[in-house]
Structure 1
């Protein structure tokens, strides 16, 4: 399957903490939040929506993550952005079930895209086993995995049936 490269889409403004919903904030994860990221992600891994990842990954890569934090300090969503030469890969995207449909996921995605633009990345990639509606509404298009960063594309598990999506960040 060959697919054309993603279409250019106007980049969002530079990242900053934003109110995702009344009382909620999207911010960079702190280094010590690995256990909280793992706990938030665990139910999604159990259902197969996310790949199972060890606590050590969350501890080592906490700086990859943006989180949606509730007014009580609870982590209600997270999204990782792993940088590769010129491109970024969004991974481990989850929003607590009781917050789905509230707009938190869209705010996380917008903040991650702004972070990628701020870091001069030209393309964002992700893989999804779900519908990918949020990504598609945000300008992502299905692409051939061979267009993605090779190290990441090799790590995709073909048994999961994930689709690779990409969005150009070129102005």
Structure 2
């Protein structure tokens, strides 16, 4: 695990693309991955390929986890849990008190790690407004 760098932007976009096509992630432009690369933690294979990523966007007192994906061939290996634990540690180090995320899937990994269903009105307003109701995402939160 390591913090992403700006030059990881194209690889972050490529890693995310299958999840966008499957409807699990919202499409984001390459410019977002480039400008917000510092939000991301990445899991990198020995050959330099990115195999997982998770963004942590900071808002006053709270953070939002987003764009969580693990390459298909690495799913079930514990990589997602390692990324999530690294993001939790990063959030604590930045003195965030609460984390939010939205998921269209089961949210199992989040729920296993202390996240609970939450009212979007409790989340950072800018992020909550950006949620697309048509996607049917559930908002989860966890106190740190």
| TM-score, with structure 1 as normaliser | 0.83
Quote how far apart the aligned CAs of 1:134 are.
Answer: 0.1
Quote how far apart the aligned CAs of 1:31 are.
Answer: 1.6
Corresponding residue to 1:49 among 10, 21, 24: 24
Residue 35 of structure 1: SS of its match in structure 2? helix
Alignment of 1:130 with 2:105, yes or no, is yes
* Aligned counterparts of 1:33 and 1:97: Cα–Cα separation in 2: 19
* Aligned counterparts of 2:135 and 2:6: Cα–Cα separation in 1: 30
* Aligned counterparts of 2:47 and 2:112: Cα–Cα separation in 1: 30
Corresponding residue to 1:116 among 86, 91, 101: 91
Aligned to 1:82: 57
Structure of higher CA gyration radius? 1
Quote how far apart the aligned CAs of 1:72 are.
Answer: 1.4
Structure showing greater relative contact order (alpha-carbon pairs closer than 8 Å, 6 or more residues apart)? 1
Alignment of 1:99 with 2:63, yes or no, is no
Alignment of 1:143 with 2:118, yes or no, is yes
* Aligned counterparts of 2:61 and 2:34: Cα–Cα separation in 1: 25
* Aligned counterparts of 1:29 and 1:101: Cα–Cα separation in 2: 22
Quote how far apart the aligned CAs of 1:32 are.
Answer: 1.0
Quote how far apart the aligned CAs of 1:150 are.
Answer: 0.5
- Segments ≥4 residues shifted beyond 4 Å: none
Deviations 1:37-86 (A, max 9, x none): 00000111011000000000001000000000111111000000000000
Deviations 1:77-118 (A, max 9, x none): 000000000000000000000100000000000000100000
* Aligned counterparts of 2:126 and 2:104: Cα–Cα separation in 1: 19
